[in-house]
Structure 1
Amino acid sequence: MNLYKVGGAELNQTPLDWNNNFQNILQAITTAKEENVSILCLPELCLSGYGCEDAFYSPNTEQQSLKLLGDLLPHTKDIVISVGLPLRHKNKLYNTVALIADQKILGFVAKKHLAGNGIHYEPRWFTPWEGGEVSEIKLDKSYENTLGASTFPIGDLLFDVNGIRIGFEICEDAWVANRPGRSLYQNGVDIILNPSASHFAFDKLDVRKRFVLEGSRAYGVGYIYANLLGNESGRAIYDGGVMIALSGNLLAISKRFSFKNCKVTTATFDLDIARLAQIQSHTSNTGTSNIEVINSNFAIPQTVPEKHSPSEASWEHSKYIKEEEFGRAVALGLFDYMRKSYSKGFVVSLSGGADSSAIVTLIHLMIEMGVEDLGLEGFKEKLGYFSSLKDCNSIKEICNKVLTTAYQPTENSGDVTFNAAKSLAEAVGATFYNVNVNPMFKGYLNAIETAIERELTWEQDDITLQNIQARVRAPSVWMLANINGALLLSTSNRSEAAVGYATMDGDTSGGLSPIAGIDKNYLRSWLRWMEKDGLDGKWNIPALSFVNEQQPTAELRPADSKQTDEADLMPYDVLEEIEKLAIRDKKSPQECLLFVQANHPDTPRETVHQWITKFFRLWSRNQWKRERYAPSFHLDDKNLDPKTWCRFPILSGGFASELSDLK
């Protein structure tokens, strides 16, 4: 029998954090060896980190990666591993993977299809490798001692390791129509490795599953997909999700969103089954002759038959409903952002409304999920720099140290929001302060009225009076963050970002904006789910009922004005609909009008007209605000982050002609 135990590793790497990245890779190799794995696939660019941005231009990034590659070689005895790194060749930079067999580098495969859409920016740094091309990379002679040589094959390579043929599809290579797997199949490949850096987005796992299973079935091969894990560099969250398939059958998939630094998933390939599938395919096997085969006489260790437990191959344990995906993704993102920035917890201005309450709930999940995954001591150990956690003996005690909240009323705040904020903070165990900012509000009011020699009124100065109340809250929460050495979280959501319904230097204040990538309509439904259901009732928070009973309001006008967000803007479900049409789908104002009217036939056309006009005017007017938002997490294809997803001019015509032509 041709049985080989294989594995894929998910790694929580950090760009340019050489020691961390090396230790995680070393742990993966050690774990794989302990489990008798013979072939191990590691994620894309795992030596340098995927999110190095313009640091990829620095020669030091390549030099440090090659140094780590040399340091790894002594640890690869009796095993085949793939490891990703950036490499320069003929004055061009390539995204490459080295295949190592028994302490020897066999060669480097370069990525052919670069991810250049959405959050990805690979064509800025890397050059795509032409299919069928093979070359020789010549490194500095100084690398001979550590790498065993200074000259290696690079390009479109297939590796024959003592009769086992191994090829690569590097992340985006598998997402395109002309994927390299076909050429590999035509050259008799046995195993395809897919080192990936595939960021989390809702429902994306289904797409990955399709190309892994279809690739393994269509090409009659063993297929190993390995992904990054955690918040690597700030905005993108990687969910892991190693998949191993053979001839169209899923053998193993890891549970996603782990809080661990390294996780190895294994399965056993019967290559006789894969080869039989290729023999029976009756498809022309005329190969691409330019694919060069690199031979190695290393005899990959075989394994004995073994049975996989149902959980290893279960699709359901890694496939979550959207509500749980959202909670797990942001919880992991927050945890890694906190520890990688060495922040001693978070500070949240807790208004008692949906946005700040959602953030507090997500931090609650961060602690619950982290302790479940790592154990109480493991959770504290991973935050070792946060010394005040060492004496905590429960999740609530940890939350009391990690999360500081402040309710900051003015004369326009009410008991409903205070009770909601206090009840939620107590329910999760957060530190709670009631910081009255009305004196500061009055102080600014008096100072300006004295300077301009007139009284400010709601009739004449509505926006001014609202904004100053929001802004006077920022200094005190910044003070709490500074006192604690903590990270202040901005509470603005994506719906507010779209239309600028936020006060700059007020509710936008913070070093991280964790919900700026999600719309208000979804946040409200998610909070209701967390109140009553949670994760099968496991982590639900009944105290959220005080939040969910309210209509969202900025609570900045006098109580008798009955201020609500939707009265100021439009219904949140409509706002989400228009934003999706206008920004994601790039529809014109007239097209948006037709779509929205069709979806809301009972709404007067004049009202829909007003909604469309308001959205496009506010969108254009407030690009400068979106440019100033704190970094946010990427969660779906409706992101408005101008630095990584949705670019729009700060100054524009504001759709004036299009809006004047609305019919």
Structure 2
Amino acid sequence: MNLIKVAGAELNQTPLDWYNNYQNILTAIQTAKKDKVSILCLPELCLTGYGCEDAFYAPNTEEQALELLGNLLPETKGIVVSVGLPLRHQNKLYNTVALIANGKILGFVAKKHLAGNGIHYEPRWFTPWEEGEVSSISFSDEVNDKLNSNSFPFGDLLFDVKGVRIGFEICEDAWVANRPGRSLYKKGVDIILNPSASHFAFDKLDVRKRFVLEGSRAFGVGYIYANLLGNESGRAIYDGGVMIALSGKLLAISKRFSFKNCKVTTATLDIDIARLAQIQSHTSNIGVAQIEVIHSSFDIPRTIPEKHSPVEASWEHSQFIKEEEFGRAVALGLFDYMRKSYSKGFVVSLSGGADSSAIVTLIHLMIEMGSEDLGLENFKAKLNYFTALTPCTTTKEVCHQVLTTAYQPTENSGDVTFNAAKFLAEAVGAKFFNVDVNPMFKGYVNAIETSIERKLTWEQDDITLQNIQARVRAPSVWMLANINGALLLSTSNRSEAAVGYATMDGDTSGGLSPIAGIDKNYLRSWLRWMETNGVDNKWNIPALSYVNDQQPTAELRPKDSKQTDEGDLMPYDVLEEIEKLAIRDKKSPKECLEFLKATHPETSSDSIKAWITKFFRLWSRNQWKRERYAPSFHLDDKNLDPKTWCRFPILSGSFAKELAEM
């Protein structure tokens, strides 16, 4: 039997954080060697971090990466390791992977297919490599000396490491129809490594699983998929999820959303099984790119047969229902955002409504999940700058230091929301303050009335009186954030962002908007799930019943107006449908009308038409608000973030002609 122990690593990297990135890579290599791994695949651009943005243009970025690459070489004795970094070649920048065998760089493979859709922007910085093209690259004398060679193969390469053929599909390469694995298969590849930076989105794991299994089956190979982990650069959350497959069979998969800096997943490949599959396929070589084969005399260590296990990996432990995926993704995103920004916890203006309560619940999950994954002491150690956590012995004590909440009533607030906020804060262990902002509200109203020499009334000044109540809440929560050295979280959701149902410099205040990528309808159902079920059937919060029993309301008009969000806007399920049709699917108002008439036959056409008109007008009018929102997490293909996903002009025709045609 021709057995080789292989591994993929998930790494929690940070752009341009050279020390952290190097230590994580070094830990992965050392862990793999300790586990007697022979071939280790690391994630895409792991030396620099994937999200360096325009810092990729800076020569220093490449120089630092090359220095670290040279430092790694002595650590790779006795093992084959792939390491990702950006390289300049003939005045172009390429996304590359170095294959190192036994301390020697065998060559650099350049990525052929660049991710340029959605939140990806690779074509801005990198040039795609032409299939079948091969060149060589050299660096300064100082770098060449450190890398132990004057020139290296560069481009479309296949590596023959003493009879074991290793090729690459770099992330997006595996997502396209004409994937490089096809040409590698024609050249008799044994193992394909896929170093990736694939961000989390709902249901995306199933897509990855398909191309890993199908690639391993169709090409008759061992396939190793490695991915980044955590909140790398602010908006994207990476869920890890290393997969190792052989000829269509999944041998290993890691549990996703780990709070660890580095995690190595191993499996043993029987190369003879892969080769037999290729022998039996009998496929023509016509039309295949000429890939240069780079030979190495390093004898890859083999694994003794007793360690080989043909049992297929359990898929379920890495596959979660949407409610759990949401909780795990945002909890991990919050943890990394906090620690990488050196914030001493979070401050939330806790209104007792669904949005702010969802954020408090997610912070509760962050602490519980992180403590379970790392152990409480290691959880605190990763926040070692936050010395107030040192004496904490329970997760509730940690929450009391990490999370500060403030209920901020005006004369239009009620006992229902106060109790909901108070009981939720007590349930998770957060600090809770009742900060009466009514005097500030009245002060602003009196000042303006004196200046304009008339009284403000709800009949004439509705929006003015609502907005000032939201805005007077911002200074006090900013003060709490400054006092604590903490991060103020904005509580806006995606449904509000779509129609601008938010007060700028009021409820949009904050340095991070963690739920701005998720719709209100889903948040309400998720809170009901968290009340009774909770992630892994634990960490549920019965006190959420006080939140879930309410109708969402801004509580900004007088109590006798019985204000509700859906009364101000439209039913949230309808809002979500219109947003999906109009923004994600780019349907016209008339097309939206026809669709909603079919899906809501019980509702009058006039009502549907009024809701569609309101949506398109508010969408167009409030792009400037979306431009000013704090950064949010990417969770699915309905993201409205204008900086990374959904661009729209600030000034437009507001769909006037299209609405008239409806």
Which category describes the TM-score, using the shorter chain as reference length?
over 0.9
Matches within 5 A, 1:612-651: 612-651=612-651
Q: Which residue does 1:573 correspond to in 2? A: 573
Matches within 5 A, 1:500-649: 500-649=500-649
Matches within 5 A, 1:32-181: 32-181=32-181
In structure 1, C-alpha distance between the alignment counterparts of 2:308 and 2:542, rounded to whole Å? 40
* TM-score between the two structures when normalised by the length of structure 1: 0.99
In structure 1, C-alpha distance between the alignment counterparts of 2:262 and 2:312, rounded to whole Å? 17
Q: Does 1:478 align with 2:490?
A: no
CA contact (8 A) 1:187 1:287 kept: no
In structure 1, C-alpha distance between the alignment counterparts of 2:289 and 2:503, rounded to whole Å? 62
User: SS state of the match for residue 459, structure 1?
Assistant: coil
CA contact (8 A) 2:138 2:144 kept: no
TM-superposed CA distance for 1:308, in Å, is 7.3
Runs of 4+ displaced beyond 4 Å: 306-312
Aligned length: 662
Residue identity over aligned pairs, in percent, reads: 84
Q: Which residue does 2:258 correspond to in 1? A: 258
Which residue identity is paired with 1:371? Answer: S
CA contact (8 A) 1:251 1:313 kept: yes
TM-superposed CA distance for 1:150, in Å, is 3.1
In structure 2, C-alpha distance between the alignment counterparts of 1:440 and 1:189, rounded to whole Å? 71
**What whole-Å deviation, never above 9, does each CA across 1:178-218 have from its counterpart, x for those lacking one?**
00000000000000000000000000000000000000000
In structure 2, C-alpha distance between the alignment counterparts of 1:332 and 1:587, rounded to whole Å? 35
**What whole-Å deviation, never above 9, does each CA across 1:54-94 have from its counterpart, x for those lacking one?**
00000000000000000000100000000000000000000
TM-superposed CA distance for 1:508, in Å, is 0.1
CA contact (8 A) 1:349 1:406 kept: yes
TM-superposed CA distance for 1:310, in Å, is 10
User: SS state of the match for residue 455, structure 1?
Assistant: coil
User: SS state of the match for residue 266, structure 2?
Assistant: strand
User: SS state of the match for residue 651, structure 1?
Assistant: coil
In structure 2, C-alpha distance between the alignment counterparts of 1:644 and 1:31, rounded to whole Å? 36
In structure 2, C-alpha distance between the alignment counterparts of 1:427 and 1:144, rounded to whole Å? 59
Matches within 5 A, 1:227-246: 227-246=227-246
Q: Does 1:212 align with 2:227?
A: no
Q: Does 1:8 align with 2:28?
A: no
In structure 2, C-alpha distance between the alignment counterparts of 1:630 and 1:287, rounded to whole Å? 50
CA contact (8 A) 1:167 1:189 kept: yes
User: SS state of the match for residue 503, structure 1?
Assistant: coil
Q: Does 1:393 align with 2:393?
A: yes
Q: Which moved more, 1:83-92 or 1:134-143?
A: 134-143
Q: 1:364 to 1:312 in 2, by over 3 A?
A: farther
Which residue identity is paired with 2:453? Answer: E
CA contact (8 A) 2:131 2:289 kept: no
Matches within 5 A, 1:416-431: 416-431=416-431
Q: 1:320 to 1:557 in 2, by over 3 A?
A: same
CA contact (8 A) 1:13 1:228 kept: yes
CA contact (8 A) 1:12 1:262 kept: yes
* TM-score between the two structures when normalised by the length of structure 2: 0.99
Which residue identity is paired with 1:392? Answer: C
TM-superposed CA distance for 1:307, in Å, is 5.5
Which residue identity is paired with 2:379? Answer: F
Which residue identity is paired with 1:360? Answer: V
Q: Does 1:659 align with 2:659?
A: yes
Q: Which residue does 2:446 correspond to in 1? A: 446
TM-superposed CA distance for 1:305, in Å, is 2.5
Matches within 5 A, 1:214-363: 214-286=214-286, 288=288, 290-306=290-306, 313-363=313-363
Q: Which residue does 1:466 correspond to in 2? A: 466
CA contact (8 A) 1:354 1:547 kept: yes
TM-superposed CA distance for 1:537, in Å, is 2.7
User: SS state of the match for residue 537, structure 2?
Assistant: coil
**What whole-Å deviation, never above 9, does each CA across 1:220-258 have from its counterpart, x for those lacking one?**
000000000000000000000000000000000000000
Which residue identity is paired with 2:32? Answer: A
CA contact (8 A) 2:3 2:308 kept: no
CA contact (8 A) 1:253 1:312 kept: no
Q: 1:514 to 1:312 in 2, by over 3 A?
A: farther
User: SS state of the match for residue 459, structure 2?
Assistant: helix
TM-superposed CA distance for 1:149, in Å, is 1.4
CA contact (8 A) 1:311 1:317 kept: no
TM-superposed CA distance for 1:553, in Å, is 0.2
TM-superposed CA distance for 1:306, in Å, is 4.5
CA contact (8 A) 1:134 1:290 kept: no
Q: Which moved more, 1:524-533 or 1:283-292?
A: 283-292
CA contact (8 A) 1:166 1:192 kept: yes
TM-superposed CA distance for 1:311, in Å, is 9.9
In structure 1, C-alpha distance between the alignment counterparts of 2:175 and 2:46, rounded to whole Å? 20
In structure 2, C-alpha distance between the alignment counterparts of 1:557 and 1:308, rounded to whole Å? 69
In structure 2, C-alpha distance between the alignment counterparts of 1:535 and 1:432, rounded to whole Å? 25
In structure 2, C-alpha distance between the alignment counterparts of 1:639 and 1:90, rounded to whole Å? 37
TM-superposed CA distance for 1:290, in Å, is 2.2
Q: Which moved more, 1:55-64 or 1:535-544?
A: 535-544
In structure 2, C-alpha distance between the alignment counterparts of 1:211 and 1:573, rounded to whole Å? 34
In structure 2, C-alpha distance between the alignment counterparts of 1:537 and 1:267, rounded to whole Å? 30
TM-superposed CA distance for 1:287, in Å, is 7.2
TM-superposed CA distance for 1:313, in Å, is 1.3
User: SS state of the match for residue 551, structure 2?
Assistant: coil
CA contact (8 A) 2:499 2:615 kept: yes
**What whole-Å deviation, never above 9, does each CA across 1:540-571 have from its counterpart, x for those lacking one?**
00000000000000000000000000000000
TM-superposed CA distance for 1:641, in Å, is 0.1
In structure 2, C-alpha distance between the alignment counterparts of 1:415 and 1:309, rounded to whole Å? 61
CA contact (8 A) 1:186 1:287 kept: no
In structure 2, C-alpha distance between the alignment counterparts of 1:59 and 1:593, rounded to whole Å? 53
TM-superposed CA distance for 1:144, in Å, is 2.1
TM-superposed CA distance for 1:309, in Å, is 8.1
Extract unaligned runs of 5+ from structure 2: none
Which residue identity is paired with 2:382? Answer: K
TM-superposed CA distance for 1:661, in Å, is 1.1
Which residue identity is paired with 1:33? Answer: K
TM-superposed CA distance for 1:139, in Å, is 1.2
Extract unaligned runs of 5+ from structure 1: none
User: SS state of the match for residue 49, structure 2?
Assistant: coil
CA contact (8 A) 2:251 2:311 kept: no
Alignment root-mean-square deviation, CA: 1.0
CA contact (8 A) 1:78 1:102 kept: yes
In structure 1, C-alpha distance between the alignment counterparts of 2:152 and 2:410, rounded to whole Å? 68
Which residue identity is paired with 1:228? Answer: L
User: SS state of the match for residue 197, structure 1?
Assistant: coil
User: SS state of the match for residue 16, structure 1?
Assistant: coil
Matches within 5 A, 1:167-206: 167-206=167-206
Matches within 5 A, 1:364-403: 364-403=364-403
CA contact (8 A) 1:187 1:288 kept: no
**What whole-Å deviation, never above 9, does each CA across 1:576-603 have from its counterpart, x for those lacking one?**
0000000000001110111111100110
TM-superposed CA distance for 1:140, in Å, is 1.3
